[in-house]
Chain A
């Protein structure tokens, strides 16, 4: 496979014209830089996905198991009975097309099969053929088609060109959610052994070692110790966090991406500094060392398997509640799935902030609090001393992550914190933020390198909105609270909007955080020189100013 070398100007030539042939007669053009490579049995190890075999996406023959058709049809039948969402969404679409230009992949590729409605029809047509009377009798006239291996190839190709971001679902008059359909479509291809390696590998790591990156316990500790050294250099403060400590009040869990690689580690440094300053009685866990869950991008069952450790580790350590770091799909799952899978965890207590006494009533069953909720509460109560001028060299905009926006609704908490820790904050255009936010183009486990063209195309609408505030206000920092965003937005903006850096919320919080006994800071967490000092300001006493 050649290197991806297309220039932004080439990628911008997007052809929105539909092909001359009907979509059912237009086979998928599976081309390089647009798909993920298959997983290998040896990468999976102890994780037992069905029918894992050798195959190449570009080949015509995918070596499907002999009874592949039966597997898929039984798989559809079982899921129709298990998920009302899937069943209803197979039946009620009127093809009004309201979802079409809402999808970042359609906007970025112009491929009609990336219109959510058509992406769903890829599977619906099969559903009609085998599960509805009209489809059985009238066939193609009723929008039904035979299940062939070409259909499987097409499903696989396009269901990994959907990041399960749910933007289409906001605009659909019936709330049809392509994410639900994609999740099930991916489960079906997973049953045939068509598992991409970029997702399968992290799943295997996460199952055995506790986290996607496969960091072993001592490595987690040493990675954090590296950060502690940097913190000491910058602030003069020595921090000593604990690991796997029984009896701590709070268990802190974050995606492992924060422990490895830039710019995630700056966010992790932010957590460490904040917790130290508060004197928080908390512990890290090397076993429950992953907030994210790539299992969710393979099958519901695998997602559940990977998450057993969250509550079981809380129970083993005897903590009162769980604080969760900055992550996107982790929070969709912690908010909407985790408690149903493994809860309710009644061995814990309803979360109460030990610093402000605030009882997080809204998390009283699942016992998990989002760190932006926790920090916003601290700032509101004036418990943090903040000097936002330390972020004056940054002109910041905020990227709402898909999962936390449309699968949770956490909008004001991070904005409140952000406005208190930096003086220059600019919103992107209204139609590209909050519940209408655009995906980074790399979510749901497709943030690999071999599919870079797909990622750059999918992320184009997001990057384009960043470019807007970059051109008008000189925005140079794209803040967010999602590990995949932190990893994937940087190459995206480097490609489309050079001159913008990607930062986590708590990196900026920690930049502004005035710590007890710290030395005069001369650099931010990245080692960049701080701007000219202005008068120090104590945060939280007044509301954030509008900027």
Chain B
């Protein structure tokens, strides 16, 4: 149920396009209106989410410290894992955002022989995660070709690197296939690792099916079921120049691809995919660990009821006198 529901959701989305484009001939809706609407939802949605988080303050300085603190001058501080400066925090965040440093720590804890715990290095999740995200990024960057008249400077470099295997015509880009493989791994581990399967929600499978759908239709179009690239570019250029056109000769496959991408963009801000923005806002990672050196203010700090020394002495004055502990006021004789 948790798996089938999102799977059939994606199938339904695909059938919807086929019906809409091949049947009802609603090319303008699927080629122009929906992509615009999706992009709009994406931008507004992400801004909404991030500003909503930003409105909640960080009342306390609570980094998770993962290394030696700054203290005595002869003790070497771990400036990245327990930063005390903005530069250190930027370094720490960069490691996490760009290299998935925290996930790289991953290890598998296991009870062996029913008597001892073993913690073995386990980098597969890190590897699949980082490969998935970077290939996705490269694939996205390659698509810039469809949205500019002149090729951006990096495109040539990217494509040379991406296609260095020099296999086939058109040249095989590795990233598309690797993206698909990484997404498949992330999906399979949700099926096959019992604990991960137990915690997975439909919302975990849905984006994976969606992305697998997007990558598959993309690969199909590029290598197998040839698509009229010139016509596609006409359409995409029409979108970026706000002069939308629907050229003839674009097959349903392209519209499926475009619709799944639109679905992903529209879904993004309302799902766990906002972790892309959230990671920058995570207080356990983006704060400095030197909270004894610099005062951190809590904007909603409010007065509370306390038990003062005077009240304390009032209760215990006689006992304190008996025990020769100094008091503020002499007891009343």
Contacts and interface: CB of A to CB of B under 8 A. Distances in A.
Interface stretch (B71-79, B136-144, B212-220, B253-261): B71-79
A206 B293 CA distance: 28
Contacts of B322: 218
A532 interface: no
A174 B59 contact: no
Given A82-B300, A217-B316, A305-B304, A175 B64 contact: yes
A202 to B, nearest CB: 14
Interface stretch (A10-18, A154-162, A500-508, A517-525): A10-18
A84 to B, nearest CB: 4
Nearest to A243: B325
A435 B154 CA distance: 41
Contacts, number: 313
B308 to A, nearest CB: 7
Given A83-B56, A166-B64, A376 B199 contact: no
A175 B114 CA distance: 31
A407 B53 CA distance: 23
B112 to A, nearest CB: 10
Interface string B154-196: 0000000000000000000000000000000000000001111
Contact of B292 (A172, A174, A308, A362): A362
B329 interface: no
B115 interface: yes
A5 interface: no
Contacts of A208: 307, 312, 315
Given A46-B307, A87-B56, A93 B284 contact: no
A355 interface: no
B173 to A, nearest CB: 27
A343 interface: yes
A431 B122 CA distance: 13
A173 interface: yes
What is the predominant secondary structure among interface residues of chain B facing chain A? loop
B304 to A, nearest CB: 5
A334 B111 CA distance: 36
A134 interface: yes
B202 to A, nearest CB: 5
Interface stretch (B12-20, B96-104, B221-229): B96-104
Interface stretch (B21-29, B31-39, B241-249, B270-278): B270-278
Nearest to B326: A244
Interface in A270-294: 286-287
A152 interface: no
Contacts of A92: 272, 274-275, 278-279, 282
Contact of B64 (A23, A117, A169): A169
B59 A95 contact: no
Contacts of A312: 308-309
A87 B108 CA distance: 29
Contact of A93 (B81, B272, B306): B272
B129 interface: yes
A309 B59 CA distance: 21
Interface in B275-293: 275, 278-279, 281-285, 289-293
Contact of A117 (B59, B199, B298): B199
B201 A95 contact: yes
B305 interface: yes
B64 A170 contact: yes
Given A98-B106, A115-B199, A373-B71, A218 B307 contact: no
B284 A97 contact: no
- The 5 A-B pairs of least Cβ separation, nearest first, read A92-B278, A409-B69, A409-B65, A218-B323, A175-B284
13 contacts: A16-B111, A16-B195, A18-B197, A84-B283, A88-B53, A95-B204, A143-B203, A170-B66, A287-B312, A305-B307, A340-B296, A365-B295, A412-B75
Interface of B: 2, 5, 49, 52-62, 64-72, 74-76, 78, 81-82, 84, 96, 100, 102-103, 105-111, 114-117, 119, 125, 129, 193-204, 270-272, 274-275, 278-279, 281-285, 289-298, 300-301, 304-309, 312-313, 315-316, 319-320, 322-323, 325-327
Given A94-B275, A170-B105, 19 more contacts: A12-B111, A12-B115, A87-B52, A88-B282, A95-B196, A96-B125, A100-B195, A133-B270, A169-B64, A218-B316, A218-B320, A308-B306, A334-B292, A336-B60, A340-B296, A358-B72, A366-B295, A408-B289, A435-B67
